[in-house]
Structure 1
Amino acid sequence: MDDEDDLPGIELPVPDPGEPLATPDTRSGFVALAGRPNAGKSTLTNALVGAKIAITSDKPQTTRRAIRGVLTRGDAQLVLVDLPGVQRPLDSLTGRMQRRVQSEVREADVALLVLNGEEGVGPGDRWIARQLADASAGGRLPVVIAVNKVDRIDRERTIRTLMAASELDVAEDVFPISARTGKGVDALLDHLVQLLPRGPFYFPEDERTDQPRHVLLAELIREQVLRRTFQEVPHAVEVAVEEVERPKDDLHVVVANAWVETPSQKGILIGAGGKMIRNVGTAARKELERELGTRVHLDLQVKVRRNWRSDETLLDRLEID
């Protein structure tokens, strides 16, 4: 990977000084989850928050936005920022993703480097560790490492990976965890809480994410596309929810578009006789019903927009910063 120039950070939400959400005795802060694609950052975010706020799949580029999950426990509130996997920018989409990673890490209170225990420590992990080391120069940014997916490897491989993680020389604390089973997650959480600065809560205690509802619903639909398509199609698909109505107390109507870049991709996503898009719609509807708490009628259309990943106007519309 090539080093990228520093870019200006973004302003993070701050509590309304007229309506404090907690006392000064509380701890609160932003924890940025960095790592390569498929390290399990989204699964870990969901496990810590205790709710599904980030979609998961085995495809790279699953996470395209910085997704904030809110965990309030006693007198501490962690705002977990699930970041896109760090990779070389190839187009406007991935360029935006990487700029967001950089800005969020710079503004974080703690950085959590998530490693894929199945794959071990590779060049990409070492590159990310160097960036975090630069950001933590002078002790400004505490860095913690979590070696994920240890439930899938034996004890010997776990020990080797933990030793390799320690040799990255970016963090004193390395935790073996399984975001999928919960193994080691409580110990990691306890440690992160201790690293938070003292300050008022950023969000109400019952809030789980600041993600707009229409974005979360669109992501739940895209997740089902990712789980059923292969090769280039998953990377070329984005979903936008255009309308959400509630004509009855027990029914939501969701209108959404699935954008692809070529007619051939559209054909694959629709499938022979419409079979693929029906399967996607059926599975997505179940996820939407779980999220909305009512029956859902999903109107899902597939549309072509060539080179949308380099279309700045559409990326703005899709709210991919």
Structure 2
Amino acid sequence: MSPTHSGFVALAGRPNVGKSTLVNAMVGHKVAIVSDKPQTTRRAIRGVATGPDWQLVLVDLPGVQRPRDALTTRMQSRVERELADSDAALMLINGLEGIGPGDRFIADALRKTSTPVIVAVNKVDKLNDAKLMEVLQAAADLEVGDDIYPISARKGTGLEPLLDRLRELLPEGPFYYDPSEESDQTEATLLAELIREQVLRRTFQEVPHAVEVVIDDIEEVRDDLLRVTAFIWVETDSQKGILIGAQGKMIKTIGTAARRELQRELGRKVHLDLSVRVRKDWRGDDRALDRLGIE
């Protein structure tokens, strides 16, 4: 029997570069929420992609950024720890936006690690040939990593060559997870994230950044029905008003969409009890962040 290879690959990139979409595409199942809002990913979510003799544990890092409060300080510290513990790092660049200061900040951080780095330029399905060549050259000028792969995480373009290269970097060793597992998230964390995704899709300006979702209870009513009780945390009364909406229309819309996502994920009917609570300055509250599991 041939030996197995397994290891951790950390995904680094600016917010809204497409890391969550890439993790979901590689795993073949939704394990990370997707949004066009910065700070969508607050935890280092692990997606697990397994083949006959290999296992890639994909660590979808929070968006690498300069810390601004207790939340982003924890996010950045987690990035640094996960990078140090990974067998390889994959830097993802938004091909539509090109190289910016954030990419250079990340490249500087990656050059300081001993971890092998691969670079992927995402969203190439939306670029013409001239723009693609321009972005690939700019990525090469960052001088981080030896290989650059043009991909579209949304369409799956270019993923096989990228996966082949990542598999080559895996050390020999046993699988970390059962081949049937696709993520190490708890059920409560995944359900909370799916609800938060629906909030992100419907809110603007400061509201998305001030929102967190806490699962209070999961009750099995009967074999085909779960009752999920969840709280949406916000930081101000005005944000609470926005989320509830006129005559409660916004919270009803969010709840309906979230319930459908939970039912799709769980494969059974879900009764979702959803309410909004004000937790002032939770992003700067270490005790609140501990409760949320944001290390």
Query: TM-score, normalised on structure 1?
Result: 0.91
**CA distance in structure 2 between the aligned counterparts of 1:251 and 1:200, rounded to whole angstroms:** 37
* Secondary structure of 1:217 counterpart: helix
> What letter corresponds to residue 182 of structure 2 in structure 1?
R
Aligned equivalent of 1:258, options 224, 227, 232: 232
1:128-143 aligned at under 5 Å gives the runs 128-136=106-114, 141-143=115-117
CA contact (8 A) 1:24 1:198 kept: no
1:1-321 aligned at under 5 Å gives the runs 25-136=3-114, 141-321=115-295
Query: TM-score, normalised on structure 2?
Result: 0.99
Structure 2 gap segments, 5+ residues each? none
Q: How many aligned positions are there?
A: 295
In structure 2, the partner of 1:3 is none
**CA distance in structure 2 between the aligned counterparts of 1:167 and 1:206, rounded to whole angstroms:** 40
**CA distance in structure 2 between the aligned counterparts of 1:272 and 1:292, rounded to whole angstroms:** 31
Query: What's the CA shift string for 1:253-295, capped at 9, x where partnerless?
Result: 0000000000000000000000000000000000000111101
**CA distance in structure 1 between the aligned counterparts of 2:143 and 2:2, rounded to whole angstroms:** 34
CA contact (8 A) 2:2 2:53 kept: no
CA contact (8 A) 1:24 1:200 kept: no
Deviating runs (4+, > 2 A) in structure 1?
none
Structure 1 gap segments, 5+ residues each? 1-22
**CA distance in structure 2 between the aligned counterparts of 1:30 and 1:57, rounded to whole angstroms:** 24
* Secondary structure of 1:296 counterpart: strand
**CA distance in structure 2 between the aligned counterparts of 1:67 and 1:36, rounded to whole angstroms:** 16
1:24 CA drift (Å): 8.0
1:92 CA drift (Å): 0.6
**CA distance in structure 2 between the aligned counterparts of 1:74 and 1:256, rounded to whole angstroms:** 39
1:237 CA drift (Å): 0.3
1:302 CA drift (Å): 0.1
1:68 CA drift (Å): 0.2
Task: Give the CA RMSD over aligned residues.
Answer: 0.9
**CA distance in structure 1 between the aligned counterparts of 2:2 and 2:291, rounded to whole angstroms:** 38
**CA distance in structure 1 between the aligned counterparts of 2:111 and 2:280, rounded to whole angstroms:** 39
1:143 CA drift (Å): 0.4
**CA distance in structure 2 between the aligned counterparts of 1:103 and 1:300, rounded to whole angstroms:** 34
